[in-house]
Amino acid sequence: MSKTTRIDPAKLAEISDTLAEALPFMRQFSGQTFVVKFGGHAMGDDDLAMSFAEDIVMLRQVGIHPVVVHGGGPQIGEMLERLNIESDFIDGLRVTDRKTVDIVEMVLSGSINKQIVDSIHRAGGTAIGLSGKDGRLIEARQLRRTTRDPDSNIEKILDLGFVGEPMNINTKALDVLNKSDIIPIVAPIGVGPRGETYNINADTAAGAIAGALGASKLLMLTDIAGVLDANKELLPTLTKSQALGLMKDGVITGGMIPKVETCLEAVRGGTNAVHILDGRIKHVLLLEVFTEHGVGTMIQADD
């Protein structure tokens, strides 16, 4: 911007107030680790994806150590459809046979991961792409789900194929990167005890990594404003017990249940706070982290 350009005094006052509000938070969080789960609509929108990359670079430039874990369900679905490979879902999880898991790994660890890395570079940062198989970052086992027949009351185990859940997080590679200026971008692919490849839900992977790193924050980008109360109003803060109560009362329902459960697991694992944010808002990470009231829902342990 040219020094001769005049800015409206009211705009200048707004900018200065914003910077003054942000400064204490920059000081407070410098040196801390944030795990950020990137997914939802923002991944398919070029402007929002670039806004996200700029936010991540900004976090790193003020001394925060961001670790990005990304999803990619719609992109996987598009590739499977292009290759005429049928795919079914059980409880929101993609049934993943051997042919499908190869495609999942190709899309997540390949095209999506490298697009995010490139966006970080274009925003002025330095990033490196990893999958959970690199350095055995995410050691996983097959995820088992059960269902009960309503007539016979017999419980049956559902075979989801190569869908996994984290068993152990080896943080060595992330610890090394966090001591540098390089931002790790992690695809949620796990490795089994015999080298099997597992497709892991990105929320679950992000929560496990946040707990293992002792992250100060886990920030989860979604396609909703955050956790809503019974009147559909945003709840800016929640404790663990309040969140459990909302699930018990049926206020938190559907796809929000596993997200909130992931948040609670991360809090139990030692993460100070978990934030559920609307990734459709430009610069949502900066608005949540560096302003007094934020724009999403923050979940913390009970006092």
Residue appearing with tokens 């956790």 = 227
Q: Could you tell me the fold of the domain covering 30-202+210-223+280-292?
A: Carbamate kinase (3.40.1160)
Summarize pLDDT for 78-124 with one digit per residue, the tens: 898 898 888 777 766 777 888 888 999 999 999 899 999 999 999 99
Q: What does the domain layout of the chain look like in residue ranges?
A: 30-202+210-223+280-292
Question: Which pLDDT score, from 0 to 100, does residue 15 have?
Answer: 65
Q: What b/e sequence results for 263-284 when a residue is b if at least 16 CB atoms lie within 10 Å of its CB, and e otherwise?
A: bbbbbebebbbbbbbbbbbbeb
Pick left, alpha or beta for residue 124 (phi over 0 → left; psi -120 to 50 → alpha; otherwise beta). Answer: left
- Encode pLDDT of 263-301 as tens digits: 998 888 889 999 999 999 999 999 999 988 788 999 998
- Range of 29-43, 185-199, 225-239, 260-274 with top mean pLDDT: 185-199
37 or 152: whose pLDDT is higher?
Answer: 37
Residue 107: burial class (beta carbons within 10 Å; 0-12, 13-18, 19+): buried
Tens of pLDDT, residues 118-174: 999 999 999 999 999 999 999 999 987 766 556 656 665 667 888 899 999 999 999
Predicted confidence at residue 150, as pLDDT, reads 61
What's the pLDDT score for residue 55?
96
User: Which residues lie below 8 Å from residue 125, measured CB to CB, with a gap of 6+?
Assistant: 53, 56, 57, 60, 61, 181, 183
* pLDDT-above-90 percentage for the chain: 54
Residue 90: CB partners within 8 Å, gap ≥ 6? Answer: 145, 158, 160
